[in-house]
Amino acid sequence: MSFRLTAKLLLRSTLLLALLSPAAYAVPTGKITIAVPSEPGTLDPMRSNNRYNHTFNANMFEALFVRDSRAELVPGLAESVNISSDGLTYTFKLRRGVRFHDGSTMTADDVKFSMDRATNPATKNPMASFLKAIERVDIANPDTIVVKLKERDGAFLKKLAFAGWVIPRRYFESVGEEGFARRPIGSGPFKFKSRSINEFIELEANELHRSNVPKVKDLVYRTIPEDAVRLAELQTGRVDIATEMPPPLMERIEALKDVKAVSHPTGAVYWVVFNVKDGKDNPVTKLKVRQALNYGIDKQAIIKGVLRGQATQVAGALVPSITPPDPTLKPYPYDPAMARKLLAEAGYPNGLKVEMYGSVGRYTLDRDISLAIANSLKGIGVDVDLKLWESSKWVGDLGKKYYPMSYQEFGNTIFDPEGLMIFGVHTKAFWSFYTNPQVDKLIDESMAIIDTKQRNAHFQKIDRLLHEDASHIFLWESKIVMGVKDKLNWTPAPGDTWFKFWDASWQK
């Protein structure tokens, strides 16, 4: 063609494209620096072994279904899903035109590869148990992925949103696992920029994202273990967000000039776990003793005095910010008289001695809380032999050594009560030491229920049973205290600690 014709064609097509393309996103600008006390190990989403991985997974990767910045479950890499009537076949219609951070386009092959890798025992994926219902993943056609389950799983989509991350096959196979750990590539709103282990992790906005291009260009996570130093950095303005601050510092943070103190429900519940499984004739195997202990701790005083109000008492196993508990089920009140009465009925009129194992440095103020609990129980004649062990020793021995009572946290994973039930209550759970065949059966049955309202009702039933059996000493759902710059528009959804930053922005 002649030159002039080519030029005209070019001009016209450019104009056409400019008119047809969707409203351009605002170019991301600015930086958010967040100070965290610890960091993930490898950033490979299928080797996530640490709770700090989850915020990176949520920002850098996507799954067939994802959680948006309000923590709502929404379609992600899949446009829609069709669940067969027997609940065993999930047919996902894949979205077209999804680009990975390296520019390549996502295909069904990448999805199958990722799911297979995640469930393959050779991968050693710590989150593999969330996907254990999967029997096989097939590509029906370039736009459709079919997942066949071994058994019904009512929370399957939620589990996908937590552990079903998709990574590019070609890239992974060319750099290998170690290469991928050094420079991970996904399709999420943020892409990996750089990392200095023990120092910082930098992410930057992914401008190729179809719908969630971040408003902020750079995201820097700085690892600063000392609480006082995180506060100092916040004070001097060198960080914009400081997380996991000790509750007594809340006032101080609020008093800082351009910073607001944020109290964020974590969706994590704290219990004193009874080892009923291996107990033999330990007092805690008796129902009345467990109930007495529940009545005998002044939980409200501890929440007020030690946690400065940064917790909400729970009645059982349903976490308020995630699943509405049955409003007629009230938490155990502080009733020393009742506690003593129960102890006497159980055969301990003069009190009893029991061991409790607490960690130091694993959970916020864990040591202080363990001490306060032991102190409270003294008031009803229970002499607690408190063993406080440094975090790694405590964890290492958990499940191996007999802990009649232990102060533990169970975090939120899939925004569904099943998570807590499976990992904290069921007989088969690794870090749970409670056993009740009736409860186990009900938990197993819950897997088959897909409708949300029915699930909630079912779990409320289980909750009541646990409450009446005093399966644990039910303490509270915790809140973490953060300092956030006033000018930063960012509010994480309650119960969501995998902080998502693509909707965060700076006020002018």
Partner 1 sequence: MLSYLLGRLWHALLCVLGVSVIVFAITNLIGDPVNLLLPPEVSSADRQAYREALGLDRDPVTQYLIFLSKAVQGDLGVSYRFNVPVLELVLSRFPATVELALAAIVFAVLVGMSTGIVSAIWPGTLVDRLVQGVSLVGMAAPTFWVGIMLILLFSVQLQLLPTAGRSGWSSLVLPAITLGWYSTAVISRMTRSTMLEVLDSDYIRMSVLKGTPRRVIIFKHSLKNILTTMVTIVSLQLVVLLAGAVITETIFAWPGIGRLLIQSAGSGDYPVVQGITLLCSLLFVLIDFVTDLLYFAIDPRIRHNL
Partner 2 sequence: MVGLFVLVGIFAPWLSPHDPAQQNIGNTLMPPFWEAGGSMAHPLGTASLGQDVLSGIIYGARVSLLVAVCAVFLSGAFGVTVGLLAGFLGGWVDSLLMRLCDMQLSIPFILLAIALIGALGPSMGNVIFVIAITNWVSYARVARAETRSLRERDFVKAARISGTGLARLLAVHIFPNVLNSVVVLATLDIGKVIIFESGLSFLGLGVQPPTPSWGAMLADGRKYVNIAWWLSMFPGLAIMVVALGVNFLGDWVRERLDPKFLE
Q: Taking Cα atoms as reference points, which of 160, 63, 75 lies closest to residue 106?
A: 63
CA gap 383, 352 in Å, rounded: 6
Among the candidate windows 196-204, 349-357, 370-378, 480-488, which touches partner 1 by CB under 8 A?
A: 196-204
What is the DSSP annotation of 402-432?
--SEEEEEE--SSSSHHHHIIIIISTT-TT-
Interface size with partner 2, residues (CB under 8 A): 29
402 binds partner 1 (CB under 8 A): no
> Residue 81 touches which of partner 2, partner 1, none (CB < 5 to 8 A by kind)?
none
Residue found by looking up tokens 């640490």 in the block:
50
Residue among 130 and 190 whose Cβ is closer to partner 1: 130
**Residue 202's beta-bridge partner residues?**
194, 220
CA distance readout (Å), 475 to 84, 273, 408, 409: 40, 10, 10, 10
Query: Taking the complex as a whole, how short is the minimal distance between the CB of residue 193 and partner 2, in angstroms?
Result: 32
Dihedral (C-alpha) 243, 245, 251, 253: value to the nearest 10 degrees?
-40
Query: Taking the complex as a whole, how short is the minimal distance between the CB of residue 434 and partner 2, in angstroms?
Result: 26
179 binds partner 2 (CB under 8 A): no
367 binds partner 2 (CB under 8 A): yes
16 binds partner 1 (CB under 8 A): no
426 binds partner 1 (CB under 8 A): no
Among the candidate windows 231-239, 293-301, 481-489, 498-506, which touches partner 1 by CB under 8 A?
A: 231-239
222 binds partner 1 (CB under 8 A): yes
The answer to whether residues 80 and 93 touch, using CB atoms and an 8 Å cutoff, is: yes
Query: Taking the complex as a whole, how short is the minimal distance between the CB of residue 339 and partner 1, in angstroms?
Result: 30
> Residue 46 touches which of partner 1, partner 2, none (CB < 5 to 8 A by kind)?
none
Tell whether the torsion through CA atoms of 186, 267, 246 and 252 is positive or negative: positive
CA-atom Rg of the chain in angstroms: 25
138 binds partner 2 (CB under 8 A): no
CA distance readout (Å), 407 to 105, 157, 270: 47, 31, 7
Residue among 304 and 487 whose Cβ is closer to partner 2: 304
Query: Taking the complex as a whole, how short is the minimal distance between the CB of residue 301 and partner 2, in angstroms?
Result: 6
198 binds partner 1 (CB under 8 A): yes
Q: Classify residue 223 by burial, with Cβ atoms within 10 Å: 0-12, 13-18, 19+.
A: middle
Among the candidate windows 123-131, 241-249, 282-290, 455-463, which touches partner 2 by CB under 8 A?
A: 241-249
Under DSSP, the state recorded for 327 is T
Among 28, 32, 45, 47, indicate the residue that binds partner 1 (CB under 8 A). 47
The answer to whether residues 98 and 186 touch, using CB atoms and an 8 Å cutoff, is: no
Question: Which helix (DSSP H) or strand (DSSP E) does residue 170 occupy?
Answer: helix 169-182
Q: Which residues bind partner 1 (CB under 8 A)?
A: 41-42, 44, 47, 49-51, 121-122, 124, 126-130, 177-178, 181-182, 196-200, 222-226, 228-229, 232-233, 235-236, 238, 390-392, 395-400, 410, 413, 423, 428, 430-431
Q: Which residues bind partner 2 (CB under 8 A)?
A: 226-228, 231-232, 246, 248-249, 251-252, 301-302, 304-306, 360-361, 365, 367-368, 371-372, 375, 388-393
